[in-house]
Structure 1
Amino acid sequence: MTDADVPYRFFRARVTAIADVTPSFRRFTFGGDDLADYGDPGLDQRVKIVFPTRTLGLDAMPLGDDWYTQWRELPEEQRLPFRTYTTRYVRNHLSEVDVDMVSHDVIGPASDWIDRAAVGDEVLIFAPTAAHSGVSFGIDFVPPARVDSILLAGDETAAPAIAAILEQLPRDASGVVAVELPHADDAAYFPQHPGFEYRIAARADGERHAHLVKSVTDAAARLAPAGAGADVEEIDIDTDILWEVPRTAKGGAALKSARLYAWLAGEAGAIKALRRHLVAERGVDRRAVAFMGYWRLGRAEN
């Protein structure tokens, strides 16, 4: 297999611009000749960004086909940290890629890099290539071909993916955007879509997830007719991955049509509660609910 046939690989990229889009969202523009081959399947395409640390450079990262296994086998102090982000914009003709990251207090290696990054700094991005074709399993927004309403819900970590989805949905799509953010001015981050109602608010002190849970339950009461609740497999978010994207064997949507399609992402505890409400209490078909626990409160994870 030649480089031109590889569907995913590591791209070495340098920071060419940094802009604070809102109080909590910082946009990093990455450049470099290598990015001419960067793939753009669209929607909420996930990528992984490997950060250098104060003691380790990027050359410490295994780059082969079995890179993850090799990375896990390294002593912990020799592992470079990586995190998952959403590609926001790709400009292959300029060899540029934009990635929006949440800027907050330094609590781990990723937030440390975000806080001190400067133009010229380098990262590795594991992403699709231009040669990628077919189903991208880095895309978690997989709605049925016919859906009456769409519910996009999450916290600030889900905001870049929600924004990318909104920009690419057809104008006749409709639904609700329910998001809880750190700062009231962060609401300006989202593109406007004529078919969506926006339920976006700043997080109240000491009431994490309160706005998100209320907004989703209110939206579900209007968008999803009450049905018979289904059994929900309990997931221990301390030991298991809270992540399910219903698909067919060919990678497409699990259903042909649905009254409501829900895409939920953010802190695992909140997403677990929202998924239970939609499926077990409202009776939404579990094949029409994609849920992703991006992170867990109190933990810094790759």
Structure 2
Amino acid sequence: MATQTEEPTVSGAVETRAVRSYELFPVTVRALQRLSPTFMRVTFAGPTLAHFADNGYDQRFKLIFPASACGFEKMPTSERWYSELRALPEEEQCGVRTYTVRAVRQAAGEVDVDMVVHEAHTEAECGPALRWLRDAAVGDEILLLGPDARWDGPHGGLDFHAPDGAELLIAGDETAAPAIAAILEDLPVTARGKAFIEVPEAADALAVDAPEDVEVVWLARDGAVWGDKLIPAVTEAARRMDFAKTEQFDENEDEMIWEAPQEVAQCDAYVWIAAETGVVKTLRFTIRKELGLPKECGAFMGYWRNGAAWD
């Protein structure tokens, strides 16, 4: 899960071939499956999903939740949809959150999304996704804003760009677990490296079909703070890797961090990390500043920020 505010062009039209990189897909909930105490798999279905692009890896898309006052009646569809949405009265604004595609089945018109079920203690801690998920039922209507397979150019929303043969270090917390699982299952069989996934408890360790030479380590927080298990494990693994050293390092003072080069670089080692922003900043400083990983050889993404509403 990320916090970007991209404004792709959207359109309700799905029958014409006036294709755009992203489209609105009206869908319903076909199935809800509790995978673990923390993860819920939601299967969305609809005939237009035959055109939902299956790009693999960490493909992002947006879930759009009905507004409390008017459902999807006021949802804008122009090129400036996001700014137009935020200009509406709060009760008429659809909730928007970004997720990772877990699976696409175009022939069946289905898309799977693994959502995190957080235990928010107050209504203020609940974002639109959590409020929707608490009461979600088969048949519920929702909108997906995702990549259109009929578009010939790049869709964007992909940040995993590891070069062939590079040693991999992949890490994240529960919000990145679906993306990491999708990445691992899309890697070539020759891939090698380690993946660390920090989750609330041991029961959240899910089965993932990773290449034989990619070790997958699930780290249970068991009540500890975010990053308590992830930071030392990833730091130790990074220190054992052979980075092409660089002296270049840009301090990032932004509230959120999103450093994800879009080109495939010539790297012997590649790092992909997504988690709570403070955790990502700590690991970025260690791996980029202290250990010298070149900027083009790693993606560091703050999927969420401690203190903000749970998605």
TM-score with structure 1 setting the length: 0.90
Match of 2:208, as an amino acid?
F
Match of 1:118, as an amino acid?
A
Q: Which residue of 2 aligns with 1:108?
A: 127
User: Given the alignment, which residue of 180, 190, 194 partners 2:208?
Assistant: 190
Taking the aligned partners of 1:56 and 1:278, their CA distance within structure 2 comes to 47
User: Given the alignment, which residue of 34, 58, 79 partners 2:93?
Assistant: 79
Greater shift, 91-100 or 67-76, is seen at 67-76
Q: Which residue of 1 aligns with 2:242?
A: 224
Identity rate, percent: 42
CA RMSD of aligned residues (A): 2.0
Q: Which residue of 1 aligns with 2:222?
A: 204
Deviations 1:226-281 (A, max 9, x none): 845533322231xxx4112113xxxx31x2x2121001111111111111111001
Q: Is the 8 A contact 1:15 1:29 kept in 2?
A: yes
Task: Return 5+ residue gaps in structure 1 as ranges.
Answer: none
Taking the aligned partners of 2:176 and 2:297, their CA distance within structure 1 comes to 18
Q: How many residues align?
A: 292
User: Given the alignment, which residue of 266, 281, 293 partners 2:290?
Assistant: 281
User: Given the alignment, which residue of 12, 24, 28 partners 1:14?
Assistant: 28
Q: Residue 188 of structure 1 aligns to a residue in which SS?
A: coil
Q: Are residue 120 (structure 1) and residue 139 (structure 2) matched?
A: yes
Q: Which residue of 2 aligns with 1:246?
A: 261
Taking the aligned partners of 2:223 and 2:193, their CA distance within structure 1 comes to 28
Taking the aligned partners of 1:8 and 1:285, their CA distance within structure 2 comes to 31
TM-score with structure 2 setting the length: 0.88
Q: What are the within-5 Å matches in structure 2 for residues 41-52 of structure 1?
A: 41-52=55-66
User: Given the alignment, which residue of 257, 269, 272 partners 2:281?
Assistant: 272
Match of 1:169, as an amino acid?
L
Q: CA 1:54 to 1:190, structure 2 compared with 1: closer, same or farther past 3 Å? A: farther
Higher helix share: 1
Taking the aligned partners of 2:83 and 2:215, their CA distance within structure 1 comes to 43
Q: Residue 11 of structure 1 aligns to a residue in which SS?
A: strand
Q: Are residue 143 (structure 1) and residue 162 (structure 2) matched?
A: yes
Match of 2:271, as an amino acid?
A
User: Given the alignment, which residue of 64, 70, 80 partners 2:84?
Assistant: 70
Q: Which residue of 2 aligns with 1:90?
A: 104
Greater shift, 154-163 or 72-81, is seen at 72-81
Q: Is the 8 A contact 1:36 1:93 kept in 2?
A: yes
Taking the aligned partners of 1:94 and 1:207, their CA distance within structure 2 comes to 41
Greater shift, 271-280 or 181-190, is seen at 181-190
Q: Which residue of 1 aligns with 2:174?
A: 156
Match of 2:302, as an amino acid?
G
